Structure 1
Amino acid sequence: MSQKIVPNLWFTRNADEAGGFYSEVLPKTSSTVSARYPDEVPDWQSEFAGETLVVDLDVDGYRIALINADEGFRPNPSISFMLNFDPLAFDDDADAARRALDETWEGLSSQGRVLMELGEYPFSRRYGWVEDRFGVSWQLILTDPEGEPRPFVIPQLMFAGPVQGKAQEAAEYYVSLFDDARLGFIAEYPAPTGPAAAGDVMFGEFHLAGQPFAMMDSAVEQDVTFGYGVSLEVRCADQAEIDRLWEALSAVPEAEQCGWLADRYGVSWQIVPANMGELMERPGAYDTMMRQKKIVIADY
């Protein structure tokens, strides 16, 4: 099954460097330049003419897109990526899985910022949360081989600040919009913990288009919330699907641009046709996209 929802990460003129970095420090990862800026761009983008626009990461079969742009936005921990080191993926060798986790942690934390120290926690014998040198956040966890198999990469949405306590509400809303979607396991805070109320989501899972996501309400006050540094690109089958999702999700009119929108919780989405790459190869496609808010396929 193709990946319908692809996380996009914003980089400040260094997506090529980041692609090389992740290819080195993340297991089973490769990077490829998948799109370039046209040779003729608006004056305000002149420095990018002919340069890399998108770098595709393949992380053990999971796709993440790196957008090469200006300093407008930066990822933050409101959307992070859980890396599940399952001993079953290492020939049922927990020591090998732990060594791989530790090596990955060393690479990601170099020149980065530790958010939760690598160590033993009640929920895992080995876990840590780190923001790497590019501002992208990763949670590394040694999973229980007796538990359900988990994919290596799972995006996690952290609800904090203006959307504190909204994790389950948001997940239920997203599930209502996508096919092959459902809520999964949810663990609640048993008592008030920092800004989280009793009954808020301590950890939860949901699936959209068959893909797993995780969510939580923050247990500590945060100075970040959802923004444009990480967006979720949805590859739609046709204009009808674009129209439906755009109408359901877009809640900030001033954020609408080139297929981008922000929803009622501040999460950024890109609602695009599945053949967007093909459309962008047509004459004048870049100028057409730059003029659009919602993508209208017939305009290309």
Structure 2
Amino acid sequence: MSLNKITPCLWFNGQAEEAANFYTSIFKNSKVTKIQRYTEAGKEAHGQEPGSVLVTAFELNGQPFVALNGGPQFKFNEAISFQIDCANQEEVDYYWEHLGKDADGSKQQCGWLGDKFGVVWQVVPTALKEMLGDSDVERVKRVTVAMMAMKKLNIAELRKAYEG
């Protein structure tokens, strides 16, 4: 019987191994777990050179991912993103800086960040989730207005808005 897991598969154009190495260098407790290569079999369909990387399997904090070198047909966009829960401003700053490295103009409002491969991340402090979950409508409104004005989320500024 197989384990019931969902593994995100990210489609790259020849950058699967590079992307997996990039992500595992940023997230603690992460590793590349397997590299599979194209073979001569199916070359007429896939068009890739035998020996080139087909799939790089990796884990980020224990979450499995697959990076597939599938070609240029599909691109990443904001319709799918990965949310990083950050315990404090130091973590927000760390992920924002490292994932945003070499990513031209991809920093977006409300903590959204596209990396150099086009994969979209949401760098979110857990404190924000707590503030937005408050039953006080006015507090939530103030925090939402503050958040909408930010790209990288600033916990101190969000807290200031929350407290009024």
**Shared fold (TM-score, shorter chain, > 0.5):** yes
CA distance in 1, matches of 2:26, 2:88: 15
1:275–1:201 CA distance, 2 compared to 1 (3 A): farther
Matched, 1:229 2:87: no
How many residue pairs match? The answer is 147
Matched, 1:248 2:98: yes
CA distance in 1, matches of 2:92, 2:109: 14
> Residue 28 of structure 2 corresponds to which residue in structure 1?
179
Task: Letter of the 2:6 partner, please give it.
Answer: V
Task: Letter of the 2:14 partner, please give it.
Answer: G
2:149 aligned to 278, 287, 291, which one? 291
Percent identity over the alignment? Answer: 36
Q: Which has the higher contact order (CA 8 A, sep 6+)?
A: 2
SS at match of 2:18: helix
1:291–1:188 CA distance, 2 compared to 1 (3 A): same
RMSD between superposed Cα atoms in Å: 1.9
Which ranges of 4 or more aligned residues in structure 1 deviate by more than 6 Å? none
Structure 2 stretches lacking a partner, 5+ long: 159-164
SS at match of 1:244: helix
Indicate conservation of the 8 Å contact 2:85/2:125, yes or no: yes
SS at match of 1:202: strand
> Residue 8 of structure 2 corresponds to which residue in structure 1?
155
Which of the pair is proportionally richer in helix? 2
1:221–1:285 CA distance, 2 compared to 1 (3 A): closer
1:240–1:199 CA distance, 2 compared to 1 (3 A): farther
Task: Letter of the 1:234 partner, please give it.
Answer: I
Indicate conservation of the 8 Å contact 2:38/2:50, yes or no: yes
SS at match of 1:261: strand
Normalised to the residue count of structure 2, the TM-score between the two structures is 0.81
> Residue 162 of structure 2 corresponds to which residue in structure 1?
none
| Structure 1 position 227, deviation (Å) | 1.1
Task: Letter of the 2:37 partner, please give it.
Answer: E
Which of the pair is proportionally richer in strand? 1
> Residue 207 of structure 1 corresponds to which residue in structure 2?
59
| Structure 1 position 165, deviation (Å) | 0.7
> Residue 278 of structure 1 corresponds to which residue in structure 2?
130
Structure 1 stretches lacking a partner, 5+ long: 1-87, 89-148
Task: Letter of the 2:38 partner, please give it.
Answer: Y
1:290–1:194 CA distance, 2 compared to 1 (3 A): same
